[in-house]
């Protein structure tokens, strides 16, 4: 694949001056890339083995505030170091940054010398190891949506993020002429990612003015999550380099569509044989697939926080917007929270439509796998498929309507506590409760505009 580097490739590129900078990155709780820029000579001599970071990187909010109350990281504990261990299998060129390569790192505890259990990559790897012990692996793909704007990040910040101009003027879903206007940015994103070992299938206009979607090839869960995190960073960097801004917020404006992250998922054996397909079964859905999907539905409330982690995330769930409100399954039905795609073929799979583009892919995929595995292990029976407009469904399972509801469900989840560990769940519960408390505390523009004169 274009852009992929072995360590030997990197050393050769450094020796001839082709690469002079190596980004060593970890993924934080919000799914962002955090790390250091190494001079490439130092990286190949020494830092390829390990580097270090402050442990607060896995204990902050979106604003990178140091938050009291975390067990793993605090002022009382001195905000010490974690070790960042480069995973050299993830080395790649970054074509949109001159002379630059990037490597993902695992986060290691100095004392135990084990991976930090609440680090996003470790959480997903734990679920992948559980699958491997069962002789299986997970294949996934995330479809990311975002809005592209005419202005730069700096201009929008100075303007208080008001009067933002979307890159097109009307709904551009599959619209070639409209998306041609955005090609300066979107072509650079496609080609940049392709050159960074992220195999792009396509980009397209989505269901609103200025809304884009990017699709990449199906891959194993950890590889897919690394690619997802890189896509978000790349899209922002490339847009910024061209004087433009974009957002992955789940709902950036009341009158505009939300940004989704649909996650396609299936299982195979270690040799790649599809385990969700049974040619003799209805719709080609094997018993294992039915148990897996039953697990997703049975634990739909429990896993919602990892699909919708912010107050804003829940403003996306609205009837008639292609964002689901019901955690039901259906055959090729975009009104349902869980859609079966590729029925009757070896590509039969589950699409989770609940997540927004603001999710952390490692956490979301780990939660989905944990729920699906529980369904397989307990051989849960799949309920009948929902037929019709799920928005109008009565007496069926709702997606939690608020972050408070999702926090309560996560706290009660014995399944996720067993799969992730109590300390990991409590770590993310603390983050969720902080998000809720900040939203409860802060006066918003909406509060002032609505009540300043009328109250």
- Taking the C-alpha atoms of residue 324 and residue 338, their distance in angstroms, rounded to an integer, is 9
Structure tokens at 134: 């069962």
pLDDT tens per residue, range 326-353: 999 999 899 999 999 999 999 999 999 9
List Cβ neighbours of 358 (8 Å cut-off, separation of 6 or more): 248, 249, 250, 259, 261, 308, 309, 310, 312, 313
**Spatial separation of the C-alpha atoms in residues 25 and 233, rounded to whole Å:** 11
Instruction: Give the pLDDT confidence of 425-452 residue by residue, as tens digits.
Output: 999 999 999 999 999 999 999 999 999 9
- Backbone region of residue 91 per phi and psi (left: phi > 0; alpha: psi in -120 to 50; beta: other values): beta
User: Mean pLDDT across the stretch 26-46?
Assistant: 98
Task: Name the average pLDDT for the chain.
Answer: 96
Output the 3-class SS for the chain: CCCECCHHHHHHHHHCCCCCEEEEEEECCCCCEEEEEEEHHHHHHHHCCCEEEEHHHHCECCCCCECCCCCCCCCCCCCCEEEEEECHHHCEECCCCCCEEEEEEEEECCCCCCECCCCHHHHHHHHHHHHHHCCEEEEEEEEEEEEEECCCHHHHHHCCCCCCCECCCCCCCCCHHHHHCCHHHHHHHHHHHHCCCCCEEEEEECCCCCEEEEEECCEEHHHHHHHHHHHHHHHHHHHHHCCCEEECCCCCCCCCCCCEEEEEEEEEECCCCECCECCCCHHHECHHHHHHHHHHHHCHHHHHHHHCCCCHHHHCCCCCCCCCCECCEEECCCCCCEEEECCCCCCCEEEECCCECCCCHHHHHHHHHHHHHHHHHCCCCCCCCCCCCHHHCCCCCECCCCHHHHHHHHHHCHHHHHHHCHHHHHHHHHHHHHHHHHHHHCCCHHHHHHHCCCC
pTM here is 0.97
> What is the pLDDT at residue 78?
87
Tell me what the mean pLDDT of segment 61-87 comes to.
Answer: 92
Q: Identify any residues that bridge with 202 across adjacent strands, giving them in sequence order.
A: 215
Rounded average pLDDT over 274-300: 97
Task: List, in order, residues 6 or more apart from 83 with CB less than 8 Å away.
Answer: 50, 51, 52, 107, 108, 109, 110
Radius of gyration of the chain from its Cα atoms, rounded to whole angstroms: 22
pLDDT per position as a tens digit, 156-205: 999 999 989 999 999 888 899 999 999 999 999 999 999 999 999 999 99
Among positive and negative, which fits the CA dihedral 29, 30, 31, 33? negative
- Which pLDDT does position 332 carry in this prediction? 86
Give all domains of the chain, ordered by start, each with its CATH number: 7-117 (3.10.20.70), 128-447 (3.30.590.10)
Question: What mean pLDDT comes out for the span 311-326?
Answer: 94
Which percentage of the chain shows pLDDT scores above 70? 100
**221 and 130 in contact (C-beta within 8 Å)?**
no
Cα–Cα dist 32/228, whole Å: 10
- Residue 76 has what pLDDT? 87
First to last CA, the chain: 61
Look at residue 1 in the predicted model and tell me its pLDDT.
65
The pLDDT tens digits of the residues spanning 360-385 come to 999 999 999 999 999 999 999 999 99
Average pLDDT score over residue span 207-221: 96
The pLDDT confidence band at residue 45, using thresholds 50, 70 and 90, is: very high
Measured over the CA atoms of residue 310, residue 430, residue 362 and residue 288, the dihedral's sign is: negative
pLDDT tens string 116-138: 999 999 999 999 999 999 999 99
């Amino acid at each position: 694949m274009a852009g992929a580097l072995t360590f030997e490739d990197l050393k050769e590129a450094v020796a001839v001056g082709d690469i002079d900078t190596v980004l060593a990155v970890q993924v934080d709780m919000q799914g962002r890339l955090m790390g250091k820029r190494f001079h490439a000579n130092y990286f190949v001599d020494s830092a390829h083995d390990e580097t270090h970071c402050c442990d607060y990187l896995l204990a902050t909010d979106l604003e990178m505030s140091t938050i009291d109350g975390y067990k793993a990281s605090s002022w009382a504990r001195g905000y010490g170091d974690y070790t960042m261990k480069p995973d050299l299998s993830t080395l790649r060129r970054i074509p949109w940054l001159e002379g630059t390569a990037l490597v993902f790192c695992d986060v290691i505890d100095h004392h135990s010398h084990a991976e930090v259990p609440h680090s996003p990559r470790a959480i997903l790897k734990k679920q992948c190891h559980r699958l491997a012990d069962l002789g299986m692996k997970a294949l996934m793909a995330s479809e990311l949506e975002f809005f592209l704007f005419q202005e730069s990040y700096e201009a929008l910040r100075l303007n208080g993020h008001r009067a933002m101009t979307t890159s097109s003027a009307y709904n551009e879903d599959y619209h070639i002429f409209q998306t041609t206007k955005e090609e300066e940015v979107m072509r650079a994103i496609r080609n940049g990612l392709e050159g960074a070992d992220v195999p792009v299938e396509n980009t397209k206009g989505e269901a609103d003015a200025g809304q884009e979607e990017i699709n990449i090839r199906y891959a194993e869960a950890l590889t897919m999550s690394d690619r997802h995190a890189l896509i978000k960073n790349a899209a922002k960097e490339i847009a910024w380099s061209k004087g433009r801004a974009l957002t992955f917020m789940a709902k950036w404006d009341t009158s505009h569509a939300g940004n989704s992250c649909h996650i396609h998922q299936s299982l195979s054996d270690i040799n790649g044989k599809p385990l969700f397909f049974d040619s003799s079964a209805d719709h080609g859905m094997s018993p294992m697939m039915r148990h897996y999907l039953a697990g997703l539905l049975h634990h739909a409330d429990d896993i919602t926080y990892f699909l919708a982690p912010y107050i804003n995330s829940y403003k996306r769930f609205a009837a008639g917007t292609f964002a689901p409100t019901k955690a039901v399954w259906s055959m090729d039905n975009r009104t349902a929270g869980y859609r079966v795609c590729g029925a009757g073929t070896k590509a039969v799979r589950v699409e989770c439509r609940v997540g927004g583009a603001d999710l952390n892919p490692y956490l979301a995929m780990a939660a989905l796998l944990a729920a699906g595995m529980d369904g397989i292990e307990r051989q849960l029976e799949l309920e009948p498929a929902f037929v019709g407009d799920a928005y109008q469904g009565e007496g069926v399972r709702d997606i939690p309507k608020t972050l408070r509801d999702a926090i309560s469900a996560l706290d009660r989840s014995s399944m996720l506590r067993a799969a992730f560990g109590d300390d990991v769940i409590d770590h993310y519960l603390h983050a969720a409760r902080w998000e809720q408390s900040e939203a409860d505390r802060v006066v918003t523009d909406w509060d002032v505009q609505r009540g300043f004169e009328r109250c």
